Structure 1
């Protein structure tokens, strides 16, 4: 095999969808089917698996969007790191990318964003490209949310099982919250990454020490009751535009917490 062929083989491996990701998708599909048909003896547990698997799938797609945009912007090292395989175990910070968001989901039913893939920013030229790389992740959550909510907007869900409607509504809420929170201009979140290339060196130097604590700070602020109420009022308003009833979201949240009987 020639050097060129070897490189192409490696390139193919770098882009081949991971069996781990496919397994997570399979869990989402099977558990979703169980919720729809009522096949599972415990519908609440099936709904729990559907929501968690769907949430992890969205996290993988979020990080993939960052990586893919970085690749086309000039960071050719992305493939070597395994980010294009959608394997959550390949992320630089699996704890932040997967474990922490799932933990926040279990604790508070909030779709807090994770991170991150390591992008070699010095390979990328142009502030617009840097901003697009940061925006690509939360835009994926926006797209995911739209896919989940369009059936409600079209009135297609009226005849669907109420448990499945609730599961979709709750999962959609997680996507909307993740997108909104991630677009906040807070150090450590993608919203700050969008504006960072346009800031002066002095501002970026002063803000840098706070980046590791941005996500935790957002989580802490959301625990303030008045802030939490206003935030979810905005979330339900947005979802209402697509015909998603807040009562469905609440039911999905209740069914999701199968351990609270």
Structure 2
């Protein structure tokens, strides 16, 4: 890949800066004080900024693997610039997922990159293009949990980073499901029969929303999803108690 093909945008660095500001506020807060405003603001900015950065990395992961796999059109579309605006419709891809995150704690997949699958060199490359996104979330989640585990830090920062890490694992588990419209299905789609792919194309626009409706409406299904995510989170070293505390602080409007 040409070195000039990847040009991180100022917006990406701005989102990183917002995340860092949130982390600093959380680190300087006093969690022993009930409803500490600095803690709340810090965790909120850390999670919102960090989640948007991870959305950018998720979609950039798809694009950079596609570029290396033969689809050079992603460069012309701006997908290699790490600018979230190129991956997202303002309402459907950014605002709506943030609303879902706020009301239910489930990170709705937000972005999208349009890949010319015919330009990719093989079915295996096509599968890796789909897997690159959720694997980036898994990698970010692991890095965050490792940092919390091995780097001494104030408890305010630890709870914020732990919740952000849990969201990465939730996103990974959700996206890896073999549901049309999600990356897990995209990984196996190249190996399906033409009739199966045609059927998947018909249900792809609404299948993820149907899945979310089921997750909200069917309690056993929701419990199973969160338990699986919790298992993966703890398997990579996450502290679930810290993460749940971070979620409580983040959702300040609920209490």
Residue 17 of structure 1: CA displacement? 1.1
Residue 15 of structure 1: CA displacement? 2.6
Q: Does 1:83 align with 2:76?
A: no
Residue 213 of structure 1: CA displacement? 1.0
Native 8 Å contact 1:188 1:212 kept in 2? yes
The alignment yields a C-alpha RMSD, in angstroms, of 2.0
**Paired residue for 2:33?**
none
**Paired residue for 1:141?**
137
Q: 1:241 to 1:129 in 2, by over 3 A?
A: closer
Q: Radius of gyration: which is bigger?
A: 1
**Paired residue for 2:11?**
20
Q: Does 1:129 align with 2:122?
A: no
Report the TM-score when normalising by structure 2: 0.90
For residues 166-195 of structure 1, give each alpha carbon's deviation from its aligned partner in whole angstroms, at most 9, with x where no partner exists: 111111111001001101110000011000
**Paired residue for 1:211?**
204
Residue 41 of structure 1: CA displacement? 4.8
Aligned length: 248
How far apart in 2 are the matches of 1:172 and 1:256? 13
Q: 1:67 to 1:94 in 2, by over 3 A?
A: farther
Q: 1:207 to 1:221 in 2, by over 3 A?
A: same
**Paired residue for 2:251?**
257
Alignment of 1:1-261 (within 5 A): 12=4, 15-38=6-29, 41-91=37-87, 93-152=89-148, 155-156=149-150, 159-223=152-216, 224-261=218-255
Which one is further off, 106-115 or 21-30? Answer: 106-115
Residue 243 of structure 1: CA displacement? 4.2
For residues 44-103 of structure 1, give each alpha carbon's deviation from its aligned partner in whole angstroms, at most 9, with x where no partner exists: 022101100000000000000000011111111111111111101112645444333222
Report the TM-score when normalising by structure 1: 0.88
**Paired residue for 1:5?**
none
Native 8 Å contact 1:96 1:116 kept in 2? no
In structure 2, the gaps of 5 or more residues are 31-35
